[in-house]
Structure 1
Amino acid sequence: MYVYDEFDRSFLAERVAEFRDQVERRLSGALSEDEFKPLRLMNGVYLQLHAYMLRVAIPYGTLSGAQMRKLAHVARTYDKGYGHFTTRQNIQFNWIKLEDLPAAMAALAEVGVHGIQTSGNCIRNVTTDQWAGATPEEVDDPRLWAEILRQYSTAHPEFSYLPRKFKIAITAADHDRAAVKVHDVGLRLHRNAQGEMGFEVLVGGGLGRTPFIGKKIRDFLPAEHLLSYVEAIMRVYNRFGRRDNIYKARIKILVHEIGAEAFSAEVEKEWEAIREGALHLDAPVVEDIRSRFITPDFAQLPDHPAELTGALENPAFATWHRNSVHAHKVPGYSIVTISLKAVGAPPGDATGEQMEVVADLADTYGFGEIRVGHEQNLCLPNIAQKDLPELWRRLEAIGLATPNVNLVNDIIACPGLDYCALANARAIPVAQEIAKRFADLDRARGVGRLHINISGCINACGHHHVGHIGILGVDKAGEEFYQITIGGRADEHAQLGTLLGPAVPYDQVPGLIEDIVDAYMELRASPRELFVDTVARLGVEPFKERVYAAH
């Protein structure tokens, strides 16, 4: 966990006081909604279909037990008892009253949590791998570099009014769990042939109305130049990005229109002027920030202790362990993924009670640390293997031990038309019905790893373009229809899905998804061939023929 200092606490206290005054002026009528809008957006406050929504940043997806308890407090006190974890490692509260927002923000500020830069045309919450610092795969802890970017980007005066919102993601492992290739800037931390640490730099990724996979503009950027190079990218975007058309304002459109090579040349030219200036990351500065991350005091423990071996004789525990427990870099410890996708539940939602129990479990068994993943699940990254049986029992008691991580009913979904003013169609009920169709665990396990992503509109908050199966809600003459794509993926081999065929009405979607899965089971070369690999091998047509013949 990173330990914030007095500057951070003072900054948040001042921002809360400022926003309290702005809300009072809005309630009194001194500010119109149009005047209030840019002020609230700076603090992560949206006006949704039914109420204001507060989006809270979780920097690089890391929470302490105390912070999670405070989120639970806000859910119970100011909302309807729950929160929604998003694909950007944020949490959203969808029912907070305007007059309660300052009090909710003040409560969050007590534990260093806020909604600053979770909205607006600025650099948003920097995201990374939810297994950061725990997985044996990585070359360094990417949270260190995400924190450096957080400090650099927060309230940056030059980049507070960009042409459009801007998102950065970092990974340090070969397997990308942060979806870096579909971000405005994606950074892959690795070592070159000389053993030096640096970044592969990608720009121009993004989904929404016009989806693109990011283009590589640098194979290797020495780590010491991270800030100056990101600054150069931001300057070029700020100077050349479209401000005349909101649909063409993202950096992905700029990179596409002028080409990655031309964009890279502009960045390199800008970078040459600033690379050795104030933004150069000297080793003592980096080490000071690294020292503020409290490393867990891991004990010397055996792998596969007797407590675990005995518990694995219980089939239910063994199933959960096989699905939700992952290798840790320290012997005797494991990484645990907590599914927020119980069958029939809204994907990504957690109640205040569940959040409090997760906080207690983190404090008792996991050094007080919790992570939020891109897939809208939670993670306890540092659990002793001997404690896994008791952890499972306590998760089971609150409905958080569903062993479906990465399976067909571990669905990513945006809030859709149930909440969002931009949505054309519902997403949550579609996800719930599909999950019910695959509720039988043996069936889901037989299907294997398969990611379904659902968005209620073209803004693609559910990342449908990169789902193995992607579902996009569209409006047709006032009725909800859904386009289906297959073959997308968000990992190190990221690619956009291919449209399967004509859009289908709401009530046909679950059956069509079942038909796609059944077709895959017939077409795959072996039970070990993943859905996305079968699509890559055969293309869309064999699926299209089978699926649309049934409708």
Structure 2
Amino acid sequence: MYVYDSFDQRVVDERVAQFREQTERYLDGQLAEDEFLPLRLQNGLYVQRHAPMLRIAIPYGLLSSAKLNKLAELTETYDKGYAHFTTRQNVQFNWPALEDVPDILAGLAEVQMHAIQTSGNCIRNTTTDQFAGVLRDEIDDPRPWCELIRQWSTFHPEFAFLPRKFKIAVNGSPSSDRAAVRFHDIGVELNRNEAGELGFRVYVGGGLGRTPLVGQLVREFLPKEHLLTYLDAILRVYNLQGRRDNKFKARIKILVKALGVEEFTRRVEAEWAHLKDGPGTLTEAEIERVARHFVDPDYVELDDADALLEEQKAQHPGFARWLDRNVYLHKRPGYAAVTLSLKKVGYAPGDCTAHQMRASAKLADAYSFGELRVSHEQNLILADVRQDQLLDLWYQAKEYGFATPNIGTLTDVICCPGGDYCALANAKSIPIAESIQARFDDLDYLYDLGDVDLNISGCMNACGHHHIGNIGILGVDKKGEEFYQISLGGDSGLNARVGKIVGPSFKADQVPDVVEKIVQVYVDRRREDEPFIDTVERLGLDPFKERIYATSH
């Protein structure tokens, strides 16, 4: 994990002091609302439906137990004792008082955390795979590259006021995309050329929101030393030529679509010609400096515990289900990566109480070298667990409510806070998620269905990534009433695609029935071992529409 040096700490401390003074001036009436707006946004502070919301950065989803314990302390002191983990691997406080925010930021700074660039028209938190550095299918660990991007982008003077917010993701695996890189403003994939040299495949112009688009390939191979200068070139073209007259057309995806990917790439390459091999070029010394923060922990030599696990699975069927769904093969023999589910039925997806934060920090200290990760699916991960300790971990995870064996299933719902909190939302998201979870609270049935991604957003801003759910649900407003639009076929992985709307929207109480009908079509029409998403692609929408609308309207 990256550790601040004295310069990093001073910058964050100075930002806290600066915002404290700005907040005091605003509360004293010395700053007008429109003057305070950009200042609070630069510090991650939004005005939501009922209270301010503070979004806290978790760079590339990596947390220490000390940081999680501090978050628990702050939620109890300044909020309502819980927080919400987001699809961008950040965490949000939904009930802080404005006058307390500087104290919260000061507390975060004590453990090398902040809220800088978690809002506003700037480069946001760089994200990556929650299993970065530990699974067997990686070309290289993406975390050092995320950290290099973070250091380059933080307070970058050219990119503090872009036409619109900007998001970058990095993926290290050639066989799967667990970071949804094709749905980011810039998506970076690690790859190697024919000579075996490490570099990047670069996509630009992906995104969700009102105009969901899959990112376009602009470079098949970028040598690793040129990463930052090439990103710089992309941002310069966007900053100069992106639209500023209409915020709904201001994202880079609109510029790429308007110019065409060939012309956009030509302009980037022309800009890069002025930057290539310049001061921004990464040296081996700089790459190694950052990479030293992400070395493997002190693994011990272990044999694979397959025989032990088979014996334990036979004795504990619940443990067997948990292993199948929540535990992943590790690159190191004798270890495993474990997902702690925040999707227990009856609880808001992604929410975590202060008690649970302390509990997960305790589990991290006991079983995973004091580190955790936040996933895009709004769960927590212990990345380095000994296989011979998995049974003990399972018992404790059950005690704390983390052992629901539903990862990747229909009830592992991705969900934004929706109308319960967000001032932008057209409809509530959390009650819809809970009603679906309650309807499908049958593990045998869930396992028979296999992997099904279900994503819910309360508005077109798509914070719940509904466009790329195998089943997507979008809250819409119809003359003051909350309705829900259903889409099918979205995919965030290597076969990236946006889901298609099936037809007219539904009232809230109809949604679980609609989802059940969709699932039943799959059960009736699937081929042997065919995943849900493949059945949708093969059949098209018509069989689902026929079943859904036969009796719904």
Please state how far the C-alpha of 1:457 moved relative to its aligned partner: 0.4
Shift >2 Å, 4+ stretches: 292-295, 305-311
Matched, 1:373 2:375: yes
Aligned equivalents of 1:170, 1:431: Cα separation in 2:
29
* Cross-structure match for 2:34: 34
Aligned equivalents of 1:261, 1:201: Cα separation in 2:
14
User: Which residue identity is paired with 1:542?
Assistant: P
Q: Aligned ranges for residues 130-209 of structure 1 at < 5 Å? A: 130-173=130-173, 174-209=175-210
* Cross-structure match for 1:276: 277
Conserved 8 A contact 2:205-2:216 = yes
Secondary structure of the 1:95 match is coil
User: Which residue identity is paired with 1:452?
Assistant: L
Q: What RMSD over aligned residues (CA atoms) do the two structures have, in Å?
A: 0.9
* Cross-structure match for 2:545: 544
* Cross-structure match for 1:326: 328
Give the length in aligned residue pairs.
550
Please state how far the C-alpha of 1:463 moved relative to its aligned partner: 0.5
Please state how far the C-alpha of 1:273 moved relative to its aligned partner: 1.0
* Cross-structure match for 2:441: 439
CA-to-aligned-CA distance 1:392-425 (integer Å, 9 cap, x gap):
1111001110000000000001010000000000
2:479 to 466, 469, 477: 477
Secondary structure of the 1:15 match is helix
Conserved 8 A contact 1:307-1:389 = no
Q: Aligned ranges for residues 130-529 of structure 1 at < 5 Å? A: 130-173=130-173, 174-304=175-305, 308-312=309-313, 313-526=315-528, 528-529=529-530
Please state how far the C-alpha of 1:309 moved relative to its aligned partner: 4.1
Conserved 8 A contact 1:205-1:215 = yes
CA-to-aligned-CA distance 1:234-281 (integer Å, 9 cap, x gap):
000000000011100000000000101100000000001111101111
Aligned equivalents of 2:210, 2:109: Cα separation in 1:
35
User: Which residue identity is paired with 1:311?
Assistant: Q
Secondary structure of the 1:481 match is strand
Please state how far the C-alpha of 1:228 moved relative to its aligned partner: 0.3
CA-to-aligned-CA distance 1:199-237 (integer Å, 9 cap, x gap):
110000000001100000111111110000000000000
Aligned equivalents of 2:2, 2:142: Cα separation in 1:
13
Please state how far the C-alpha of 1:119 moved relative to its aligned partner: 0.2
CA-to-aligned-CA distance 1:14-46 (integer Å, 9 cap, x gap):
111111111111111111222111101001000
User: Which residue identity is paired with 1:189?
Assistant: L
User: Which residue identity is paired with 1:515?
Assistant: K
Secondary structure of the 1:547 match is helix
Secondary structure of the 2:74 match is helix
**What runs of 5+ residues in structure 2 fail to find an aligned partner?**
none
Please state how far the C-alpha of 1:442 moved relative to its aligned partner: 0.8
Q: Percent identity?
A: 57
Kindly tell me: are residues 383 and 164 of structure 1, through their superposed partners in 2, closer, same or farther at Cα, counting changes over 3 Å? Answer: same
* Cross-structure match for 1:81: 81
Aligned equivalents of 1:4, 1:60: Cα separation in 2:
15
Kindly tell me: are residues 305 and 543 of structure 1, through their superposed partners in 2, closer, same or farther at Cα, counting changes over 3 Å? Answer: closer
Aligned equivalents of 1:341, 1:374: Cα separation in 2:
13
Aligned equivalents of 2:50, 2:34: Cα separation in 1:
18
Matched, 1:64 2:64: yes
Aligned equivalents of 2:340, 2:494: Cα separation in 1:
23
Secondary structure of the 1:449 match is coil
Aligned equivalents of 1:294, 1:542: Cα separation in 2:
51
Q: TM-score, normalised by structure 2?
A: 0.98
Aligned equivalents of 1:494, 1:376: Cα separation in 2:
20
**What runs of 5+ residues in structure 1 fail to find an aligned partner?**
none
Conserved 8 A contact 2:342-2:351 = yes
CA-to-aligned-CA distance 1:281-328 (integer Å, 9 cap, x gap):
111110111112343010001111665344322011111111100000
Conserved 8 A contact 2:143-2:294 = no
Secondary structure of the 1:187 match is strand
Deviates more, 1:284-293 or 1:10-19: 284-293
User: Which residue identity is paired with 1:483?
Assistant: Q
Please state how far the C-alpha of 1:364 moved relative to its aligned partner: 1.3
Conserved 8 A contact 1:205-1:211 = yes
Conserved 8 A contact 2:326-2:339 = yes
User: Which residue identity is paired with 1:414?
Assistant: C
Conserved 8 A contact 1:2-1:294 = no
Please state how far the C-alpha of 1:537 moved relative to its aligned partner: 0.6
Aligned equivalents of 2:54, 2:538: Cα separation in 1:
43
Aligned equivalents of 1:22, 1:529: Cα separation in 2:
57
CA-to-aligned-CA distance 1:44-97 (integer Å, 9 cap, x gap):
000000000000010011001101111111111111111100000000000000
